[in-house]
Amino acid sequence: MGMKWGNMTSSVRGLVMYSLSPYEQKAFAGAFSKGVPNLFRRFRGQVFRVVPPFIAGYMIYNWADKEHARLMRKDPAEFVNDE
């Protein structure tokens, strides 16, 4: 029939569809008045779910790094009698 999937019918009775060309739309309409406050709201809602695991991971990594450095040092008591 030459029609693409989703456009199989030529018309639907009682259904009116309106569309606006993407070239006529405002790309950043409401980006500053609605987008920035929404960004802060979403950040505030998720910060306590995301930040604590990162802090715990950093603290574990920092502890492990210091412990590894401590264990890799030589004990001076083992070399007291060396000449």
- Tell me, what DSSP letter sits at residue 65? H
- CA dist 39 and 79 (Å) reads 61
pLDDT tens for the 83 residues of the chain, in order: 556 766 666 667 787 777 777 777 787 888 889 989 999 999 999 999 999 999 999 999 999 999 999 999 988 888 888 87
Distance CA(74)–CA(67), nearest Å, equals: 13
Residue tagged 């991971």 (tokens): 57
